[in-house]
Amino acid sequence: MMIECLGWGSSLILLATLVRQVYTQWRSGATAGLSKWLFVGQCTASVGYTVYSFMLHNWVYVSSNLAILVTAVVGEGLYLRNKRRASRASARSAAFIPRSECS
């Protein structure tokens, strides 16, 4: 029982840090320092760990890795959205020509 508590507690701490990171990314709208490959790697690893944990009948890690997979998918979605927004903002500012330069 104590071993299970250690596993669940550790998983909750890890998940809380990942959720906080995704929340910060959502609030800031920033993409600097983030790579789509981080999320691709996280998704791939989470799927692999989930299957592995399922095969071992380790429900702590099945649950944890599924939750981590969800944070990766949400994080990737936020990354792509923020990147699109930054690209649009950049295109709008590049298209804007101040009046003093038009004369």
Contact 18, 71 (CB under 8 A): yes
Structure tokens at 50: 């989930």
Q: Among positive and negative, which fits the CA dihedral 40, 44, 49, 54?
A: positive
Per-residue pLDDT at 101 exceeds 70: no
In this prediction the pTM is 0.67
Q: What is the pLDDT of residues 40-70, one digit of tens each?
A: 888 888 888 899 899 999 998 899 999 989 9
Within 10 Å of residue 79's Cβ, how many Cβ atoms?
19
Report the largest interatomic distance among the alpha carbons of the chain, rounded to a whole angstrom: 78
Structure tokens at 9: 């507690």
* Residue 83: pLDDT band with limits 50, 70, 90: confident
- 71: buried, middle or exposed (CB in 10 Å: 19+, 13-18, 0-12)? buried
Per-residue pLDDT at 73 exceeds 80: yes
